[in-house]
Structure 1
């Protein structure tokens, strides 16, 4: 089996993308008629039902009984958690990012994004694509996972990379399963809630930590009266502390150990800061990765240092210290999903997203999926 360019002989366990239980073969079941029966292997895709004598390909998690994607146990699972406080722009970011992957990244990096379930197809169309790209409307605030169970379920995709073999024949080089979670901001307000409904955070392959610069006091003071400002809610340092504590408890990480999940610290709504940051700022430029059809490591580094300087200049030195004290690997980004400030829930201008792909590409690079 090819996973991210690496051949794996056998996979003994995989994680359910819904309840995040590690499933060995005894915990994966086939379902047919009214019968369920255990699978003999984590990667076995078909089972023969003794009741109706038919073959079934429906597999369920033995812990939460959710139907597993057909790729379960066959390839690498990459869980991307998009977390942040209320109104940080998480839903807008996910909707625009998925559109960018499908329409631009796919051509540049010779890959294709394919939904793994009807649920994912419906949710993306109804909750993200149609409002943003057809109706030109802003998205509704994500409901808490405690009141809206669908928020607990990820958007599941296959990301396939293709090319040609030595004979010039078109082949699929590698495939990964992507699970995107859109976390409600209110579910990040206390550790007990996070531990209950956000277990996927400490099982993540990468975290996009979305932060609203309009929540930073000094930024708000400089923009007062110039643009509409959102209600000031959670402090970014508090949110970071809760997230780090959750991951350390979930992964049994000792107090003197750092977290090895790569974190893309991404400041959203950067278009609102255009008048108070340098005119020649690199974060105002389009991302070079898609245009050059390759990862530009120097651009990642330049953006990181520039954004870190902005954060420190605007009074976020403590936040940077906390990131360093908790995570081995992190990088700072400045993005804008919409490109301009909406009015009365309407997107008045053509969507002009800025650098939304950068955090995602960086996480793929850190997970050795692209190079």
Structure 2
């Protein structure tokens, strides 16, 4: 029987190994379970007082709490004791890992991507996208308000060592499915884990990320095209869009080829892969901040065209973008990135995205956080890498116009 993967800690387990948490209600005879911090959760930085864990067969939808006699229906992961989405063992679950260089805009990109999935892409595919747990809904809602209502950019993603309790955002993607006599809903649990590029610079960081990247069904690697050697000279870009001195220093260690090398080395440590086998996990290579390149690209360029509005993933349109970026890479840095990917991955694709649609203005004296441009947030094709992964995973349909 296939194993389940926890969307929070990425540990694997059999369905019967799922545990339950008592609801903490008073039983008819007056008994009530005492609440205290869960030692497993406390190690992850979560010291909230909660009812006790109930040991039972996770294949069942409920269990009887031995402490109070009440029925427990809250299923939890046997490893990290996180509350699992309802009916977790009965629905599809997909893990999407995201990684990128420092200053590539990962945090902004993830917030805008999820906002677009919830508000616009959901309508496009007649799908409902909601946070699968209270923490995701609360924390994502806070980041969304900060960016969209206050116009303030989020802080840089902290490393795993600095943020021991960091957990992924988990969403439920629900699609309508018409059958012969009735309509049904097909649910897919989506887990987004945002890994800081610095997490792959040390042996400890690599060890922490093998589980996350190795368990992922798809990976989005976000790269800053402005850090690619040869690009600035080739396109003759306006200096105002170029990286700052601090960002250029960070890019020396976090260049696109270095990031890809580290990700690949992590995936080669996954059991069953090894150095002589190509990696099967589909990888979306998303170049961020393409709005900084628009003035240097011809108007018909696929990178400047809006995403299709079809209720399926348009593969031909995506392939046109892929081929265009591939040609640019050969012009910019001799094709080193493309040759590396072709030798290590069975399936990869290039994308050009812009989370904000315009370069944020420089920090003013005394200003601690950057703000979005006065034109507001105008995302460009941020959903493309994610939709490509969903199409590869058979969650949404693929079409070729």
Q: CA-atom RMSD, angstroms?
A: 1.9
**Match status 1:300 vs 2:318:** yes
Distance in 2 of aligned mates of 1:184 and 1:316? 27
Residue 371 of structure 2 corresponds to 346
**Native 8 Å contact 1:88 1:212 kept in 2:** yes
- Residue matched to 2:289: 269
Of 295, 320, 328, 1:310 maps to: 328
Distance in 2 (alpha carbons) for counterparts of 1:353 and 1:255: 38
Instruction: Tell me, in whole angstroms, the C-alpha distance in 1 between the residues paired with 2:89 and 2:56.
Output: 12
What is the SS of the residue equivalent to 2:90? coil
- One of 30, 51, 55 as aligned partner of 1:38: 55
**Runs of at least 5 residues in structure 2 that lack an aligned partner in the other structure:** 23-32, 34-50, 364-369
TM-score (norm 1): 0.90
Change (3 A) 1:271 1:215: same
> What is residue 273 of structure 2 aligned with on the other side?
253
Q: Deviations over 1:320-353 (max 9, x none)?
A: 1111111100011111110000113111212111
CA contact (8 A) 2:100 2:197 kept: yes
Deviation digits for residues 11-51 of structure 1 (CA, Å, limit 9, x no counterpart): 6531122322211246322222354343324x422111122
- Equivalent pairs counted in the alignment come to 354
CA distance in 2, matches of 1:92, 1:316: 30
The verdict on how the C-alpha distance between 1:298 and 1:94 changes in structure 2, with shifts beyond 3 A counting, is: same
Please state how far the C-alpha of 1:190 moved relative to its aligned partner: 3.3
- Closer, same or farther: CA 184–299 of 1 in aligned 2, 3 Å: same
CA distance, structure 2, for counterparts of residue 321 and residue 96 of structure 1: 31
- Aligned mate of 2:111, from 72, 82, 95: 95
- The answer to whether 1:118 aligns with 2:134 is yes
- Mapping of residues 46-195 of structure 1, within 5 Å: 46-127=62-143, 129-151=144-166, 153-167=167-181, 170-172=183-185, 174-195=186-207
Question: Which one of 225, 233, 250 corresponds to residue 213 of structure 1?
Answer: 225
Question: How far has the Cα of 1:236 moved from its partner?
Answer: 1.4
Larger radius of gyration: 2
How big is the shift at 1:204? 0.6
Q: Residue 7 of structure 1 aligns with which residue?
A: none
User: Displacement of 1:194 after TM fit?
Assistant: 2.5
- Measured at CA, do residues 46 and 287 of structure 1 come closer, stay the same or move farther in structure 2, by a change above 3 Å? same
Show CA shifts across 1:191-237 (max 9, x none): 53132146211111111111000111222343363434241221211
- Number of the residue aligned with 2:36: none
Aligned to 2:241: 227
Rounded Cα–Cα distance in structure 2 between residues aligned with 1:191 and 1:285: 41
Q: List 4+ stretches of structure 1 deviating above 4 A.
A: none
User: What TM-score comes out, normalization by structure 2 length?
Assistant: 0.83
The equivalent of 1:363 in structure 2 is 389
Name the SS of the counterpart of 1:314 in structure 2. Answer: helix
The corresponding residue for 2:27 is none
- Taking the aligned partners of 1:47 and 1:13, their CA distance within structure 2 comes to 21
Unaligned runs of 5+ in 1: 1-10
Between 242-251 and 261-270, the greater mean CA deviation after superposition: 242-251
What is the distance in 2 between the residues matched to 1:192 and 1:332?
30
Partners of 2:54 and 2:177 in 1: CA distance: 39
Aligned-partner Cα distance in 2 for 1:227–1:212: 12
